[in-house]
Amino acid sequence: MDVPQAGIGRITAAAVAMAATLPYLTIKIFWLTGSTVGVLDPAAMASGAMVGLNAMTFGMDLVGLCLALAFTTRWGMRLPAWLVLLPIWVGIALLAQILTALPLTLLLQGPGVFFTGDTLEGWVYLAVYGGFSLQGMGLTVAFALYTRDRWPWVLRPAAVRTSVPFQHVVGRGSLLVTLIVGGANLYWAFGGTAGLDPAVAAARTVPGSITQALGAVLVIGAAIAYLRLLGGHAPWAVVVAWLGSGHLFAWGLYTMIVVVTAGPLAPKVPMVATNLVELFSMLTGLVLGLAGTFLLIERSGGGVVEAAQDPLEGPQREGDRQPADSGHR
């Protein structure tokens, strides 16, 4: 079967995403090689934990660049499914929150919010988060078009129920946990202070609270969407479950890494309640992501994880096939 060639829409969206990674990658290269360009606190940037985080985030953005490139090529259509789905699941979840928070912050507080004079110069925040926003839009559009060409059945509704009872157990359990996790975030987003250090409560902003509330609604929606998928395939439910589970896992994992490394990004005050919520978010997102993967495998008859051709092979055509007994006279 011929591999679909990327259309102009997919190529354009991927090109935007690739271009948007360049400011961030450039800044990270400078920092990892000892430069302090854009840094107001060189001592904080030189710590071992910060160097490790810079290396990790540089690698993550480099993966995003490679994914965007893969979305434009024929060999990208032959990559193993997990090699595409795992990083894009995490990446879009991380970028989607930034894509939501940046316009809200600029609208309600103006660009001056980035020029606080703490650790980094204001232009660094604008370059990095502006690039993240464009990268998020480009990757999302490119991946949607890639999915349409590679797994078109995902975007078509179907009246098919799951045949695995355990999926219902996972769905109900995930809904219970997301109601707790999402409820806690909604409580804090609307001004609740229980479990928060006074300094943390005082530092809350309107854009941050709106973003937190939207994230809470999304993660509750993810569990509801997953339950909907158990009774039949619905494209909107795939999208909501995908984004919500990724949000839970990606941001929960990021918070846990920051806390464990105890670097300059770690909070200076106790965050026991919020850290506990983030831990359960990460675990619930992982469970929902795995359960959703198994559900899609079941729904596709194994098509989601079909063996990939070698990336260097040309597209297969009917004329390439030989009779089964060829060479066995």
Beta bridge partners of 158: 233
Query: Is residue 103 within 8 Å of residue 211, measured between CB atoms?
Result: no
Name, in order, each residue with C-beta under 8 angstroms of 62's C-beta and a sequence gap of 6 or more.
Answer: 21, 25
Residue 9: per-residue pLDDT: 94
Of 98, 54, 80, 84, the residue nearest 247 (C-alpha): 98
CB-based burial of residue 60 (10 Å sphere; 0-12 exposed, 13-18 middle, 19+ buried)?
Answer: middle
User: What's the DSSP call for residue 190?
Assistant: T
d(CA 304, CA 267): 40
d(CA 186, CA 210): 9
Residue 321: per-residue pLDDT: 43
Q: Which pair of tokens denotes residue 107?
A: 């609208």
Report the half-sphere exposure of 79 (CA within 13 A, side-chain side): 21
d(CA 156, CA 314): 29
Look-up: residue for tokens 């060189």? 42
Query: Is residue 76 within 8 Å of residue 69, measured between CB atoms?
Result: yes
The SS3 of residue 204 is coil
Residues in the chain: 329
d(CA 109, CA 99): 16
Residue 264: per-residue pLDDT: 74
Alpha carbon 246 to its chain centroid, in Å, reads 5
Letter for the amino acid at 213? A
Reading the chain (329 residues) residue by residue, the pLDDT tens digits are 567 788 999 999 999 999 999 999 999 999 999 898 988 888 878 888 888 999 999 999 999 999 999 999 999 999 999 999 999 999 999 999 999 988 888 888 888 777 776 778 888 988 999 999 999 999 999 999 999 999 999 988 988 888 788 899 999 999 999 999 999 999 999 999 999 988 888 888 888 999 999 999 999 999 999 999 999 999 999 999 999 999 999 999 999 998 888 777 777 777 889 999 999 999 999 999 999 999 988 888 644 333 334 343 344 444 444 444 434 33
The SS3 of residue 268 is coil
